[in-house]
Amino acid sequence: MGFSVSDELLGTFVPIVVYWVYSGIYILLGSFENYRLHSKKDEDEKNLVSKKTVVKGVLLQQTVQAMVAILLFTVTGNDSEAGMGQSSVVVLARQFIIAMLVLDTWQYFMHRYMHLNKFLYQHIHSQHHRLLVPYAFGALYNHPLEGLLLDTIGGALSFLLSGMSPRTSIFFFSFATIKTVDDHCGLWLPGNLFHIFFRNNSAYHDIHHQLYGTKYNYSQPFFVMWDRILGTYMPYSIEKRVDGGLEARPTKNYKED
How far is the CA of 143 from the CAs of 27, 112, 127, 151, 196, in angstroms?
Answer: 23, 16, 6, 11, 31
Q: Is the pLDDT of residue 55 over 60?
A: yes
Residue 200 maps to a domain: yes
pLDDT digits (tens, 9 = 90+) for 80-135: 444 444 568 999 999 999 999 999 999 999 999 999 999 999 999 999 999 999 99
In a domain, 255, yes or no: no
* Residue 23, in any domain of the structure: yes
Strand pairing partners for 246?
240
Asked whether the predicted pLDDT for residue 180 surpasses 60, the reply is yes
Q: What is the pLDDT of residue 256?
A: 47
Please check whether residue 245 lies inside any domain of the structure: yes
* Structural domain includes residue 118: yes
| Domain interval for residue 13 | 7-76+88-250
Q: For 141-174, what is each residue's pLDDT tens digit?
A: 999 999 999 999 999 999 999 999 999 999 999 9
pLDDT at residue 84, as a whole number: 47
Judge whether 115 lies within some domain.
yes
Tell me how many domains the chain contains.
1
241 within domain boundaries: yes
Report yes or no: 111 and 147 within 8 Å, Cβ to Cβ: no
Residue-wise pLDDT tens digits, 181-240: 999 999 999 999 999 999 999 999 999 999 999 999 999 999 999 999 999 999 999 999
Tell me whether residue 96 is in a domain: yes
Q: What is the DSSP string of the chain?
A: ------HHHHHHHHHHHHHHHHHHHHHHHTT-GGGBSS-HHHHHHH-SS-HHHHHHHHHHHHHHHHHHHHHHHHHHTTGGGTTGGG--HHHHHHHHHHHHHHHHHHHHHHHHHHHHSHHHHHHTGGGGGG-SS--GGGTT---HHHIIIIIIHHHHHHHHHHT--HHHHHHHHHHHHHHHHHHTS-B--TT-HHHHH-SSSHHHHHHHHSGGGTTS----SS--HHHHHTT----EEEEE-TTSSEEEEESS-----
Percentage of the chain with pLDDT > 90? Answer: 85
At 141 the pLDDT is 97
